[in-house]
């Protein structure tokens, strides 16, 4: 499901004494966050913050916001989730955010009348992501998000088409 505002990370602490914050990024890399100058503190985008500097620092991102000039102001932001506007993210065609997968219906590639459930979570394992699919009975199944299994992903239509590995859903059919 396409969302206008997406979570980019959580403010975990301050950095220095001039109002900089340390962001734990929820992205493939801290470098991705450098692309943004506008951040929001809610999922509706009603509280906009303008970054004057954004720089990766190890596995975190140091951000200085316009108007946040003291360590006290920065401390008040601790634990806040930051959002970005999706339209500000220049993604290649066919790319999507993990957050947009949550809630997508999962259908069988060979029989589109078979709906396995909805994607309810994504685990990042390193080798490949693992999608958690929960059916109407509350049963959870795990599928590897690999090209031989995931045939089509259309977050705009809230739909994913898979060809599951043998044995994953055998008790379903």
Residues 54-80 have pLDDT tens digits of 999 999 999 999 999 999 999 999 999
Q: Which residues does residue 15 pair with via DSSP β-bridges, in sequence order?
A: 20
The larger pLDDT score, comparing residue 111 to residue 172, is at 111
pLDDT band with cut points at 50, 70 and 90 for residue 173: very low
Give the mean model confidence (pLDDT) for residues 149-166.
94
Residue 93's CB: how many other CB atoms inside 10 A? 4
Residue 37 lies in a domain: yes
Residue 171 lies in a domain: no
- Rounded CA-CA distance 87/5 in Å is 9
How many domains is the chain built from? 2
18 and 79 in a single domain? The answer is: yes
Which pLDDT does position 171 carry in this prediction?
61
Domain encompassing residue 32? 5-88
Give the mean model confidence (pLDDT) for residues 121-147.
93
Closest C-alpha among 158, 118, 150, 154 to residue 136: 118
Give the mean model confidence (pLDDT) for residues 110-137.
94
Residue 9 lies in a domain: yes
Q: How far is CA 103 from CA 87, 97, 167, in A?
A: 20, 13, 23
21: exposed, middle or buried (C-beta count within 10 Å: 0-12, 13-18, 19+)?
buried
Residue 126 lies in a domain: yes
108 and 81 in a single domain? The answer is: no
Give the mean model confidence (pLDDT) for residues 102-125.
95
Closest C-alpha among 120, 130, 126, 129 to residue 99: 120
82 and 105 in a single domain? The answer is: no
User: Which CATH number belongs to the domain containing residue 144 in this structure?
Assistant: 2.30.30.240
Percent of the chain with pLDDT over 70: 98
pLDDT band with cut points at 50, 70 and 90 for residue 172: low
Residue 19 lies in a domain: yes
Which pLDDT does position 74 carry in this prediction?
97
Residue 52 lies in a domain: yes
Residue 93 lies in a domain: no
């Amino acid at each position: 499901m396409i969302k206008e505002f997406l979570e980019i990370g959580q403010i975990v602490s301050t950095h220095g004494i001039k109002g900089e914050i340390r962001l734990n990024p929820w992205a493939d890399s801290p470098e991705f966050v450098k692309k943004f100058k506008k951040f929001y503190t809610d999922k509706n985008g009603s509280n906009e913050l303008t970054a004057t500097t954004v720089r990766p620092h190890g596995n975190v991102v140091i951000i200085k916001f316009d108007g946040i000039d003291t360590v006290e102001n920065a401390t008040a932001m601790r634990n806040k989730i930051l959002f970005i506007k999706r339209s500000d993210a220049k993604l290649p065609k066919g790319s999507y955010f993990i957050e947009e997968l949550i809630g997508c219906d999962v259908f069988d590639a060979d029989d589109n009348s078979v709906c396995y459930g909805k994607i309810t979570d994504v685990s990042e394992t390193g080798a490949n992501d693992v999608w958690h699919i929960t059916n109407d009975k509350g049963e959870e199944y795990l599928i590897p998000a690999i090209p031989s299994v995931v045939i089509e992903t259309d977050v705009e239509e809230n739909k994913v088409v898979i060809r599951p590995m043998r044995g994953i859903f055998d008790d379903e059919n």
